[in-house]
């Protein structure tokens, strides 16, 4: 198992390099000009100098190489510096200054390091996306178990229908729909997520909960629909197995048979599906963040795209790619760990 993990980790390096190359190539082929916003009165030689200041004067392979160095070498150094300087966990170490004077990936919009902005935006995305994923799983698993256990019952049929609907309605429709119902007609919930809101007492905590309900539920609906389908399928596969009959014949109570024997075996594929779905939910969050005006990563990507901010777009897309590769790896390793029948070697 360990050798498999190490092999997969090593294999993910060329994969990531290839992906970064594709993204970079797309951006290079694109005809968008970051100088397009500069007024026409600026003389061409000044424009040329501005271009070089942005690092655009060099050949594409030099630019690519520099981006790789900045992303894979200098940004981790900055992270180490931050760990030793301002965290309590590693603060006892002598303060380091590895990244001092080194050029980081700079955003063309704000002229500040891209990673700093990403770090600022990350908590909003993680809160909304992460919480919605947890909520979705918590709802989905009991639904899946019960509808498989009572196969073809009314609950099963209603559940299958609702998950199918949840599967089919896109988030850019459920979002506005919920806003129309709960913000416009009833006026219970705010339609815009206020990221500057600070939670410091019970009342502000309540406000925070209220503004999170809608974005979280929109994303959770998609998760619930997918995972409860998988859960139901896996439970159905396992309920007809011989070991279930054996367990019942031994005289075990029905709850032990279903909730311990069958559930544990059915969770194996579901856990991998949950792991595989993590990066997809980040992608889906682009739309939800746009609907509810959450200023997270997805919204950052959109604004950077519209502003032709290539370093930001490159870095963000690559972060999404890292998430996908990482969670694919986690899913594979988990599958091998949970199911002893799976042998990768």
Partner 1 sequence: MTDQATPAAEADLETYGALQDKEPQKPPRSQWIDVWEQFSKHKGAVFGGGFLLFITFIVIFGPYIWTLEATKLDIRNKNWRPVYQLLFDSEAKAGWAHPFGTDQLGRDIMSQMIAGGRVSMAVGWLAMALALVIGTAIGVVSGYFKRLDFWLMRFTDLVLSLPILPLVLLAVTLFRQPLNARFGPEGGMFILIVSVIGLTSWMQTARIVRGDILALKEREFILAARSIGTKPGKIIRRHLLPNVISPIMVSATLGLATAIITESALSFLGVGFPSDYPTWGKLLADAVQRMQEFPERVLLPGIAISLTVLSVNYLGDGLRDALDPRIRGR
Among the listed residues 179, 221, 227, 270, the single contact to partner 1 using CB under 8 A: 179
Q: What distance in Å separates the CA atoms of residue 61 and residue 85, rounded to the nearest whole number? A: 35
What token pair was written down for 261? 């024997």
CB 193 within 8 A of CB 291: no
The angle subtended at Cα 312 by Cα 59 and Cα 67, nearest 5°, is 35
Q: What distance in Å separates the CA atoms of residue 334 and residue 226, rounded to the nearest whole number? A: 19
Q: How many CB atoms lie within 10 A of CB 135?
A: 18
- Backbone phi, then psi, for 106, in 5-degree steps? -105, 135
Q: Does 303 bind partner 1 (CB under 8 A)?
A: no
Among the listed residues 15, 110, 120, 295, the single contact to partner 1 using CB under 8 A: 15
How many amino acids of this chain bind partner 1 (CB under 8 A)?
A: 45
Q: Does 302 bind partner 1 (CB under 8 A)?
A: yes
Q: Does 37 bind partner 1 (CB under 8 A)?
A: no
Q: What distance in Å separates the CA atoms of residue 16 and residue 215, rounded to the nearest whole number? A: 31
Q: Does 169 bind partner 1 (CB under 8 A)?
A: yes
Q: What distance in Å separates the CA atoms of residue 309 and residue 66, rounded to the nearest whole number? A: 17
Q: Does 321 bind partner 1 (CB under 8 A)?
A: yes
Q: What distance in Å separates the CA atoms of residue 209 and residue 177, rounded to the nearest whole number? A: 19
Among the listed residues 38, 97, 158, 165, the single contact to partner 1 using CB under 8 A: 165
Minimum distance between the CB of residue 40 and partner 1, rounded to whole angstroms? Answer: 18
Among the listed residues 214, 221, 235, 313, the single contact to partner 1 using CB under 8 A: 313
Which residues have CB under 8 Å from 148's CB, separation 6+? 156, 231, 232, 233, 234, 235, 236, 239
Among the listed residues 6, 13, 30, 42, the single contact to partner 1 using CB under 8 A: 30
Tell me the sheet residues that pair with 113: 106
Q: Does 296 bind partner 1 (CB under 8 A)?
A: no
- x-or-dash string of contact with partner 1, 264-293, rule CB under 8 A: ---------------x---xx-xx--xx--
Q: What distance in Å separates the CA atoms of residue 31 and residue 42, rounded to the nearest whole number? A: 21
263-278 per-residue burial string, b: 16 or more CB within 10 A, e: under 16? bebbbbbbbbebbbbb
Residues 183-212 that bind partner 1 (CB under 8 A): 184
Stretch that binds partner 1, among 19-27, 84-92, 111-119, 122-130 (CB under 8 A): 19-27
- x-or-dash string of contact with partner 1, 74-93, rule CB under 8 A: --------------------
Stretch that binds partner 1, among 56-64, 97-105, 111-119, 157-165 (CB under 8 A): 157-165
Minimum distance between the CB of residue 175 and partner 1, rounded to whole angstroms? Answer: 9
Tell me the sheet residues that pair with 106: 113
Binding site residues, partner 1, CB under 8 A = 15, 18-19, 22-23, 26-27, 29-32, 161, 164-165, 167-170, 172-173, 176-177, 179-180, 184, 279, 283-284, 286-287, 290-291, 301-302, 305-306, 313, 316-317, 320-321, 323-325, 328
């Amino acid at each position: 198992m360990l050798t498999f993990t190490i092999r997969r980790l090593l294999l993910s390096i060329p994969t990531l390099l290839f992906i970064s190359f594709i993204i970079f190539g797309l951006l290079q082929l694109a005809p968008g000009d970051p100088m397009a916003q500069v007024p026409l009165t600026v003389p061409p030689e000044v424009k040329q100098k501005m271009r070089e200041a942005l690092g655009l004067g060099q050949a594409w392979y030099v630019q690519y190489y520099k981006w790789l160095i900045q992303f894979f070498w200098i940004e981790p150094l900055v992270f180490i510096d931050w760990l030793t300087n301002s965290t309590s966990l590693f603060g006892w170490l002598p303060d380091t200054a590895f990244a001092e004077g080194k050029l980081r990936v700079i955003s063309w919009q704000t002229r500040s390091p891209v990673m700093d902005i990403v770090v600022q935006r990350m908590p909003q995305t993680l809160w909304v996306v992460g919480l919605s994923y947890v909520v979705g799983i918590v709802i989905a698993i009991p639904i899946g178990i019960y509808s498989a256990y009572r196969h073809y019952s009314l609950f099963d049929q209603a559940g299958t229908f609702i998950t199918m609907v949840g599967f089919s309605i896109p988030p850019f429709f459920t979002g506005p729909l919920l806003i129309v119902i709960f913000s416009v007609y009833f006026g219970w919930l705010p339609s815009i997520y206020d990221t500057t809101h600070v939670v410091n007492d019970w009342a502000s905590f309540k406000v925070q909960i209220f503004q999170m309900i809608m974005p979280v539920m929109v994303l959770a609906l998609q998760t619930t629909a997918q995972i409860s389908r998988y859960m139901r399928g896996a439970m159905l596969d396992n309920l007809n197995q011989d070991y279930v009959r054996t367990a019942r014949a031994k005289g075990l109570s029905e709850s032990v048979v279903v909730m311990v024997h069958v559930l544990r075996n059915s969770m194996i594929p579901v856990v991998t599906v949950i792991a595989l779905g993590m990066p997809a939910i980040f992608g889906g969050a682009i739309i939800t963040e746009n609907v509810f005006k959450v200023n997270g990563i997805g919204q950052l990507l959109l604004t950077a795209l519209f502003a032709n901010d290539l370093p930001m777009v490159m870095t963000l897309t690559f972060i999404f790619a890292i998430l996908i590769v990482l969670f694919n790896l986690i899913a594979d390793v988990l599958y091998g760990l949970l199911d002893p029948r799976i042998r990768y070697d």
